[in-house]
A and B are shown apart, each in its own frame.
Chain A
Amino acid sequence: MLKIENKADIFHYRTLLFILSLSMITLLSRYFYLQVIEHDRYFSKSQVNSVKAQATYAPRGLILDRNGVVLVENYPTYILTVTPYELEDKDLQFEIISNITDISIEELSRRYKKYYQGRFLPTVIAKNLTFAEISQIEERRLELNGFQYKRFDERLYSDVLKDAHFLGYLRELDRQSLPFLDKSQLYRAGELIGWQGIEKQYEKELRYSKGMKYIEVDTYGREINSINDNNIPAFPGEDLTLSIDSKLQQFSKNLLLGQKGVILVSNVNNGDILSMVSNPSYNLDIYRGETTDSDWNALLSDKNKPIINRNIAGLYPPGSSFKIITALNLIEDGLLDPEDSLMCTGSYIPPGSSNTFNCWKEDGHGLVDLNKAIAQSCNVYFYETVQLIKLAEWTKTAKIFGFQNKTEIDLPNELIGQIPDKEFFIETYGRWGWSERGVLLNLTLGQGDILVTPLQSLRYINHIASKGKTAKLRLNAKKEIEYYDDILLSEQTWDRVIKGLYDVVNADGGSGWRAKQFEVKLYGKTSTAENPHGEPHAWFNGFFDFKNQTYSIVVLVENGGGGGAVASPIAGEIVKFFTDTNVDIVNK
């Protein structure tokens, strides 16, 4: 065996056994003292009353817009709870409650089962009690032993912004989700927690800090007396000021009336989102009180998907705005002289191919240089010049501008879209099912397998507007300004592209002329993105300077048609809002 024999001594064994016995006897005699000798005292103490710690609550923080307009506030309601072991005649008592509240007995029983937490714990069976109902319950107090009503704050959305997805909503916590939450916040089943949008993102700031109150209760858990020693007060949550301008948000919302799509407006200098509209939408009040299952299912199964915030979770082909990616590549790498012109005859046949690729303008643009190609969105120019670029280079540039990456805006559940690369094509079409030249013809027009979110598109235009150094997009106006990684391109490259974007709106024949405003310089790019779901999506991405600040706009009308015809006028209206109201939106 191992090295050495056991040297344990019987004396040592007995010593340890002695200590063990002594400790056990000490413990047991104390138990005996408490449980047998002092039993009466403690039994009556536990019977008559007891000190119980009870959580206390404070209101959740408000959500305000940048001008202090209240967007989300709290609204007191009354809920009815029932404590199972106090019930005397459940069926009869449920019938009384049913008569008072007009909720069927079956529904009451269903909720009673669903929310049951234990024989001694109150179960919520009705919400949003009116004052009349409460008085009736109070009148029949004696018959309704075990029923209690108590105050319960719900969220109230202001009429100004009842349908803004980004606000998000609260949800009642169930026991299944409890283990996954931050323990230090002391969540309990039945409490409300931010479940989407800003409410989720800033849950920690908005949520109150729970307090503790010591109350004396009798053997049934009823409060007799409150003890004021050692109480810990509850503190309200912090108010949150958003970068949103609710007037602009409403104004832009009206511009999209009856259409599906998105409008985003931001301040390029600090990343503030001023307006974030996603249409169609739905009334956030659905999260308050009781909503029937059929209403819910109708909302969830609506094929227009009103429940989705298209800004961060809608994926679209970007269309011609991606021609800028090609243009940046061409100039920065010195692949061509921007002054050189090509001939657009209205169609293009790639070398060694028999397929014809058409320009949107059937009879051609004639002689086109880079500037005109951007301004008039000439396909043929980009078909021909993209052949000078490698696929890997092109996708790299797209990714530098933040595509296939989160914009890191302070909202949960942002999608990243897709910029297809070599691996993607091999996986999708097989090793020989595609060619680099062929897919580039598609990619340069922002078509094919590219998918972006409107918010990514906003980040893209902000990068261009600020010549590569732009602030991270944010909804919380008090959040510290951070910057995306700088995009290092030569000054001349930026200037070329920005000049092109200017001509889109302002030069003769520019595709975005309908957006033109005389008081401010608007830069932009229209896109008409073909897609399998019907009419093309109309895009306008642009920016303008106003009162020493640079603002950017992204307009997307789903299946709206041409970007020039449909999206540009909307962008123009937004610029007009700035000049008409002539307010410093920013500096507040």
Chain B
Amino acid sequence: MSFFNNYIYGSNEYLGRLYIIVSSLITFGLITLYSISSDPLSINSSFMRQIIFIIFSLIIFFIISQIDIKTIHDNSTLIYIFSFLLCFIPFFLPAVENTYRWIDLGFFYIQPGEYLKCATIILIAKYLSNHQLEVKESYIVIIPILIALLSSFLVLNQPDLGTAVIIFAPVLPMMLWAGVNGFTLFLLVAPLITIIAASNNMIFNIWGVLMFIIFLSFQGNFLKKIMIYFANIFAGLLFPFFWNDFLNGYQRQRFVDFLNPDLDPMGSSYHIIQSITAIGSGGLFGKGWGEGSQTQLKFLPVQESDFILSVIAEEFGFFGITLIMLLFFMLIKTLLDIAFRLSDYFSSLVIVGLTSILFSHIFINSAMTIGLMPVKGLPTPFVSAGGSFMLLCFIILSLVSNLSKN
């Protein structure tokens, strides 16, 4: 019976599986970094630095693993305030590449926004796991959204659009997990989709019909639903006017620049073109390890972090990409399995939140390399080079292993 209990509640087998997946991803990343470093064994190569970061992150992993879940639960507000204040430090330091995202620790840079992601999730999870909460009421979505808004507003000023978006990613899945009414969740997403769909007439029409069907299929006050529906349609119709006529060109440009200081600094779609060429030329089995001409001739920019998937695609082909996507899929699925089988509600919610962060990083980064999304400097978990993000991934891992102990 104890084995059965352990299997259902302890999730230890899931943890073991998780560690195997993470180790495979890290190994894959290191093999790729070795291939693109011109002198991999020198201490300054991204390969060696990555190894140092991993060792450092492992130490942090073991330290955090020692912290009791109850401590995390009871101090969630304190953790949040601390991470929030940490994000203010860069504003008092000299700007790094025109942004205030980084704290220079001498041997590597720390991005406090990364840790605010975790703190936001813990705080939201604490709120949602409160047993006095009436999850069926729609108003409970307000507090989590306000917390996420506060965090993302701060990082937006650094400015860091990528992190601001990522901070929002866990909100919906966590509320879904907590049992918030599906229609309420739909209402939250609908305006965003409306605005995006408004850029194209046909898409907007399809979306209008689709939205109408969804509105009808949910129960509730008919008049209220009709009003919200038309509010959405109007917002969508007005947005292009607002964007085109109300703001003049230079205001728009400034808005875009503000959100995206590192978007296309060379003034062309150079990054995307090179990335797609590298991926496409890889073919089914790739050009071989260290043989990717696009990569090795340094056509690909920031190949060790943002575009590492393009390197993998060029050198190991569709075969390699499928392998790594499979690993990512297993990673996320294992995390969801753990969250589903945990007995404690707070822990379960935190894990869902953390999983959403990892997933959105994976999705946005891959979508960017293949031209499905605009260029945004977001690394891939456990594979991309970079100390601060690697540390975040290990913190997430240690929280998961910690939370699934009970």
Contact = CB atoms under 8 A, between A and B. Distances in A.
B245 interface: no
Contacts of B340: 6, 8, 10, 13
Interface stretch (B51-59, B148-156, B331-339, B388-396): B331-339
A214 B266 CA distance: 10
B311 interface: no
Nearest to A85: B296
A24 B42 contact: no
A181 interface: no
A259 B296 CA distance: 57
B344 A117 contact: no
Nearest to B270: A53
A448 to B, nearest CB: 40
A121 B296 CA distance: 9
A335 interface: no
The interface size bin for chain B is 35 or more
Contact of B129 (A4, A53, A183): A4
A46 B283 contact: no
Interface in A3-41: 3-10, 12-13, 15-17, 20-21, 23-24, 27-28, 30-32, 34-36, 38-39, 41
B283 A39 contact: yes
Contacts, number: 176
Interface stretch (B13-21, B255-263, B322-330): B322-330
Contact of B279 (A8, A16, A42, A47): A42
Contact of A230 (B178, B267, B278): B267
B265 to A, nearest CB: 9
B284 interface: yes
A175 interface: yes
A8 B277 contact: no
Interface string B51-79: 00000000000000000011001000000
B318 A1 contact: no
Contacts of A184: 97-98
Contacts of B297: 50, 52, 120, 217, 221
Interface in B295-345: 296-299, 301, 313, 317-318, 321-322, 325, 328-329, 332-333, 336, 339-340, 342-345
A429 interface: no
Contact of B284 (A3, A36, A178): A36
Interface stretch (B197-205, B227-235, B362-370): B362-370
B370 A30 contact: yes
B5 interface: no
Nearest to B328: A24
Given A12-B176, A46-B278, A35 B268 contact: no
Contacts of B366: 27
Contacts of B268: 214, 229-230
B147 interface: no
Contacts of A176: 44
Given A9-B179, A53-B270, A118 B278 contact: no
A259 B343 CA distance: 87
A232 interface: yes
Nearest to B317: A35
Interface string B29-55: 000000000110010100000000000
Interface string B77-119: 0000000000000000000111000000000000000000000
A330 B399 CA distance: 71
A219 interface: yes
B406 interface: yes
A221 B328 CA distance: 35
Contacts of B130: 3-4
B39 A117 contact: yes
A10 B283 CA distance: 39
A3 B129 CA distance: 8
A20 B266 contact: no
A2 interface: yes
A175 B44 contact: yes
Contacts of B44: 175-176, 178-179
A43 B176 contact: no
B28 interface: no
Given A31-B322, A175-B44, 8 more contacts: A1-B406, A6-B343, A35-B321, A46-B278, A47-B281, A47-B293, A53-B270, A183-B96
Interface of A: 1-10, 12-13, 15-17, 20-21, 23-24, 27-28, 30-32, 34-36, 38-39, 41-43, 45-47, 50-53, 116-121, 175-176, 178-179, 183-184, 212, 214, 217, 219, 221, 229-230, 232
Chain A to chain B: the 9 pairs with minimum beta-carbon distance, closest first: A42-B280, A118-B38, A46-B281, A35-B318, A34-B280, A4-B131, A43-B281, A4-B345, A230-B268
9 contacts: A13-B336, A16-B173, A17-B333, A20-B329, A20-B359, A27-B367, A42-B279, A47-B281, A118-B39
